[in-house]
Structure 1
Amino acid sequence: MAQAQHIEHGPLSGGALVIGTIAVSLAVFMNVLDTSIANVSIPSISGDLGVSSDQGTWVITSFAAANAISVPLTGWLTQRIGQVRLFVWSIVLFVISSWMCGLSPTLGALLASRVLQGAVAGPMIPLSQTLLLASYPRAKAPMALSLWAMTTLVAPVCGPILGGWISDNISWPWIFYVNIPVGILAAFASWWVFRSRESATHHLPIDGVGLGLLVIWVGSLQVMLDKGKDLDWFSSPTVVALGLTAAISFAIFVIWELTEKHPVVDLMLFARRNFTGGTIALSIGYGLYFGNLVLIPLWLQTTLAYTATKAGLVMAPVGLFAILLSPLTGKFLPKTDPRYIATASFLIFALVFWLRSLYTTNVNTYWLVMPTLLQGVGMAGFFIPLVSLTLNGLPGNKIAAASGLSNFVRIMCGGIGSSIFTTAWDRRATLHHAQLMEQATPYNPVFMQQVQQFQQHGDNAVGYLWFNNSVSQQAAMLGVNDLFWLSSAIFVALIALIWITKPERSTPESAAAASAAH
């Protein structure tokens, strides 16, 4: 593929460096915030639009799927448009689509706006790292990356709190309207600081067939995952048709991309053990994390009667240790084997989900918060070491393509994870409900004793209703416990993938370059 001529710009200094850093951080903050701010607002959105909570989760998965599709195009768009113009236009279009989300009167309109929002958000994170690193002297690259990492960690913490408070005290459209002033400020400041640092542009051919196949198989897969639960999965002709479409288009996509001269996705990167092991470990781990990030607030609100604000506060401590420890991770990464840090992170995640698998319906706030607080320690060693492993040993001209592909798989796994977890929770809760109801027989002394107590008060209907509600709550709790335990086991198993990689010796500069491409 022809390469655009690269123009070297010196680092920024003084006020321009400060404003540029703030502008880029605001854009990233706004982008990442939108991946979590809607999580605790799903019940409010679903109720207001007259749809089920399961349908409401499409608000999250539609954004993730569209975002996954657009990420691999970042490199091509940068060379056609220029990194500064593309970054600013991404922010502007993100603001417009956020405004459209808030105005949406139906679920269909909201999903269409979220798809647009996810699509234009794709280039923002890779370009934010590129612009930020180019603004600092090479010796200070780790500091720049620490600032960037802290921004991406603060946003998921603020998202559930802000989303919950807005849903409880104002109305859900404002979870999208808050992006408007932030985005306008970020776009204006970014253009003012970076407009003279535009990258060279070059007209390159686009793999239209590959892009079309990418949209078809990703879109079919996501719709299948979202609709499968409501349509009883493969007993439905619609789900079968979607599954076949996704499988066939994916197979053709792989064959086409492996033989195309200018592929939209360079699948030959999977021939490298570091890239394959790192990408799969990072993506599945992120899918588990994101799936639980969607599931926990939903469980707290629908089963334990938590408000959206309180559910957000329970999730908030995840960022405390992550923010405090991320700079240390960046500092020690060039001096140690990243596999050790990633392994420790996965073991912490496994411990966190195992502790959660012990929850009961009487769990208090302390035991809800403590594993979440501990999870922040794992998050501090999650992204940067795994990205370093994924891109380790790649030549410079492969970094951008590898970053786009790795991010595509990771984001796609996040969307798939949220769909699978909500569906699996419903199925496991239904199974446990059926098993528990088998105990409601005249041969169960506990059940009969409870019924007799209500009979003494002359109200059998209330007794049976109370029993059914108790069973439903316990079934939902057992279903969540199953998924927590499974998440813990998978995190332990994923450690093997980390040790499939064989990192080469890297310098601080190469580590910075790898992180910048994330």
Structure 2
Amino acid sequence: MENRLSSPASASSAAPAAPAAPPPPLEGAQLALATFAVALATFMNVLDTSIANVAIPTISGDLGVSVDEGTWVITVFAAANAVAIPLTGWLTQRIGQVKLFVGAILMFVLSSWMCGVAPNLPFLLASRVLQGAVAGPLIPLSQAILLGSYPKEKSSVALSLWAMTATVGPIAGPALGGWITDSYSWSWIFYINIPVGIFAAFTTWAIYRKRESPTKQPPIDVVGLGLLIAWVASLQIMLDKGKDLDWFSSPFIVGLGITALICFAFFLVWELTEEHPIVDLRLFSQRNFMGGTIAISVAYGVFFGNLVLLPQWMQEYLNYRSVDAGLVTAPLGVFAVILAPVMGRVLPRSDARIIATLAFIGFAIVFWMRSNYVIEIDTWHLVLPTLLQGIPMALFFVPLTAIILAGQPPHKVPAAAGLSNFVRVFCGAVGTSIASNEWNNRTILHHARLTEQATATNPVFAQQMSSTQSLLNVNDQTAHALFDFTVNTQAAMMGLNDIFYISAIIFLVIIPLIWITRPGKGGGGDASGAH
């Protein structure tokens, strides 16, 4: 209460001194163990963003609810996570990096256990809200802690190791989730976090407890926090449920959209004029932060939207099991893992903008390859572009993250990492929604075009139906059903090819965003400044 009632004059007179020098880098086995523990916590977090997706039908059946109700398990986690991520910088100031990181891991373990034992849907949803909220600081803090653990000249190695775990998690999630659900119980997709989280938390605390960042007690921006929760949660739920509710034909979706728009407008004005904002939007005044954040976010939105569509198409139209569809997408992590250490060595001696540009060109080539898919495609031709996509993935996260964090003082890194990760994750949700909606629209369009001549008055079509009945010994109704199934499959394939082709173009179009940042090795300027 004292802090809230203190006058501006007294607050300014008590302004904190210049930040203390950061602790020296870790070395040897201690550095290796610390890196493993922090990376493990990151992997656990990003894995949970996708591992539950394939288990929704099973969860819904066990809890006695519809699949539509079950999808709230994904929606509430994403909404809570999206709200919490940009709060990382503010929470770090009040609690400290290490305490916040370890506390978030332990709360994630607790909420995972609660999810596993959930007896009904309301309890599970409440647990997922808690899990999503406490997961928010984990990714940005893992970046900040790893950067502080390595010498300045090896900051790109730290980012490479972080990127390796951050990219493999979402890829492994569907395959691992499907296998666990089929072989054991859906509860185990949450229980596996318990031993992993406990190890990561205790190891991190043992190594970092004496390396805590300085703290201060800035006033709580209650208005900014309320507006942030309102617009982010409204928009996230709108994006997740829009397709199921037929978008703006639903009053619920319209209400969410209006709420998000109004609250976002007020949020921008408030945070840019507030002395102690809950989210430091002034970071966007920095050229590197703005260019790097927009580039990585748009690219991630396109990438993640396609990552969701591909296994969905394989399951719906190619009759792949969820586990098999996950295994087809799994090779994406092969080159991402192999090339991550290489990036750590190459980046300090290179212009990060050139590497990121090559990554975007690589993504464009991969999506162009996919735009030539056909219904009769074999597994190898599905796997090949996915395998090759691991190369631009390895060239993608590290240079752009280095650009974003370049020149940030240590006490600003959590805020910068938190805000950039929030925009990236948010664009991932937007990209998924747009990709799903456009695939549906393009499928409808191609279906209409393919059936323009499929009328009883067309002698060619009538002859085809007659041939089908004779060849397969089926009646007229069955022949028409087979034709409709073939058209639906072909239309969906053509619609997906359109999405892939447009995605390739987008990656080429956004390349100039990279080049508005300042030149320099390892991320445009002194990349180690983020250390």
Structure 1 length-normalised TM: 0.90
Alpha-carbon distance in structure 2 between the residues aligned to 1:467 and 1:103: 47
Question: In the alignment, what sits opposite 2:3?
Answer: none
SS of 2:210's partner is helix
* Residue aligning to 2:256: 242
Q: 1:508 to 1:248 in 2, by over 3 A?
A: closer
Does 2:125 align with 1:115? no
- Please name the residue that 2:8 is paired with: none
Contact 2:144 2:413 in 1 (8 A): no
- What are structure 2's unaligned runs of at least 5 residues? 1-11
Percent identity over paired residues: 60
| Contact 1:65–1:415 (8 Å) recurs in 2 | no
Q: What's the CA shift for 1:90?
A: 0.6
Deviations 1:261-281 (A, max 9, x none): 011122222233332222111
The separation in 2 between residues aligned to 1:299 and 1:209, in whole angstroms, is 43
Shift of 1:111: 4.0
Aligned counterpart for 1:404 among listed residues 403, 418, 427:
418
Separation of aligned partners in 1, 2:138 and 2:465: 60
- Are the equivalent residues in 1 in contact too, given 2:76–2:128 (CA < 8 A)? yes
**Maintained 8 Å contact 1:63/1:114:** yes
Return the letter of the residue paired with 1:271. Answer: S
Post-superposition shift, 1:112? 3.6
Q: Measure the CA separation in 2 of the matches of 1:419 and 1:108.
A: 25
Note the C-alpha offset of 1:209.
Answer: 0.7
SS at match of 2:517: coil
* One-letter amino acid of the structure 2 residue matched with residue 488 of structure 1: A
CA offset at residue 253 of structure 1?
0.6
Aligned to 2:35: 21
Q: Which amino acid aligns with 1:306?
A: Y
Residue 222 of structure 2 corresponds to residue 208 of structure 1: yes
Partner in structure 2 of residue 491 of structure 1 = 507
Correspondence 1:265-344 to 2 at 5 A: 265-344=279-358
Over the residues paired in the alignment, what is the CA RMSD in angstroms? 2.8
Consecutive unaligned residues in structure 1, runs of 5 or more: none
Q: List per-residue Cα deviations over 1:90-127 (Å, max 9, x = no partner).
A: 11111122223334455555444333222111111222
- The verdict on how the C-alpha distance between 1:309 and 1:507 changes in structure 2, with shifts beyond 3 A counting, is closer
Q: 1:188 to 1:473 in 2, by over 3 A?
A: same
Deviations 1:294-344 (A, max 9, x none): 221112112211111111110011111111222222222222221111111
Matches within 5 A, 1:217-228: 217-228=231-242
Contact 1:213 1:249 in 2 (8 A): yes
User: Secondary structure of 2:510's partner?
Assistant: helix
For 1:387, the equivalent position in structure 2 comes to: 401
Pair 1:173 & 2:187 matched: yes
1:468 to 484, 487, 504: 484
Contact 2:159/2:398 (CA < 8 Å) preserved in 1?
A: no
The corresponding residue for 1:361 is: 375
- Does structure 2 conserve the Cα–Cα contact (< 8 Å) formed by 1:39 and 1:297? no
Matches within 5 A, 1:47-196: 58-104=72-118, 109-196=123-210
Closer, same or farther: CA 38–85 of 1 in aligned 2, 3 Å: same
Task: Rate the CA distance shift 1:96–1:425 in 2: closer, same or farther, 3 A.
Answer: farther
Cα drift, residue 162 of structure 1: 1.4
> CA–CA distance in 2 between the matches of 1:361 and 1:55?
32
1:495-517 CA distance string (max 9 Å, x none): 12112223356699942443x6x
Of 195, 205, 212, which aligns to 1:198? 212
Which deviates the most, 339-348 or 476-485? 476-485
The answer as to 2:242 corresponding to 1:251 is no
Report deviation, 1:189: 2.1
Determine if the alignment matches structure 1 residue 501 to structure 2 residue 517: yes
Distance in 1, Cα, partners of 2:199 & 2:410:
33
Q: Residues 41 and 164 of structure 1 are in contact (CA less than 8 Å); yes or no, is this contact kept in structure 2?
A: yes
Rounded to whole Å, the distance in 2 between the matches of 1:50 and 1:427 is 32
Amino acid at match of 2:490: Q
- 1:408-419 → structure 2 map (5 Å cutoff): 408-419=422-433
Q: How many residues align?
A: 515
Matched to 1:326, the amino acid is: A
Q: Distance in 1 between matches of 2:123 and 2:243?
A: 22
Of 159-168 and 488-497, more deviation after overlay is shown by: 159-168
Conserved? CA contact 2:22–2:410, under 8 Å: no
- Residues 394-421 of structure 1 show CA distances to partners (whole Å, capped at 9, x for unaligned) of 5565444332221111111112222222
Deviations 1:54-83 (A, max 9, x none): 766654454333222212211221222222
Are the structure 2 counterparts of residues 43 and 254 from structure 1 closer, same or farther at C-alpha, using a change threshold of 3 Å?
same
- Distance change >3 Å, CA 3–CA 453, structure 1 → 2: farther
Could you tell me how far 1:291 is from its partner in structure 2? 1.2
Describe how 1:432-471 pairs up with structure 2 within 5 A: 432-445=446-459, 447-456=461-470, 457=473, 459-471=475-487
Structure 2 CA distance for aligned equivalents of residues 386 and 507 of structure 1: 7
Shift of residue 49, structure 1, vs aligned partner: 5.9
Distance 2:287 2:462 in 1: 61
Gap change, CA 1:171 and 1:512, over 3 Å in 2:
farther
Moved more, 205-214 or 478-487: 478-487
Looking at structure 2, the residues matched to 229 and 156 of structure 1 have their Cα atoms a distance apart, in angstroms, of: 22
Preserved contact between residue 352 and residue 522 of structure 2 (Cα < 8 Å)? no
Q: Per the alignment, do residues 365 and 106 of structure 1 end up closer, same or farther by CA in structure 2, a change over 3 Å counting? A: farther
Which secondary structure does the structure 1 equivalent of 2:454 belong to?
Answer: coil
CA apart distance, 1:445: 4.9
Is the deviation greater in 491-500 or in 64-73? 64-73
CA deviations on 1:332-361 (whole Å, 9 max, x unpaired) are: 222222111111111111111111111122
TM-score (norm 2): 0.88
Aligned mates of 1:375, 1:54 — CA distance in 2: 32
3-state DSSP of counterpart to 1:197: coil
Give the conservation status (yes or no) of the 8 Å contact 1:61–1:415.
Answer: no
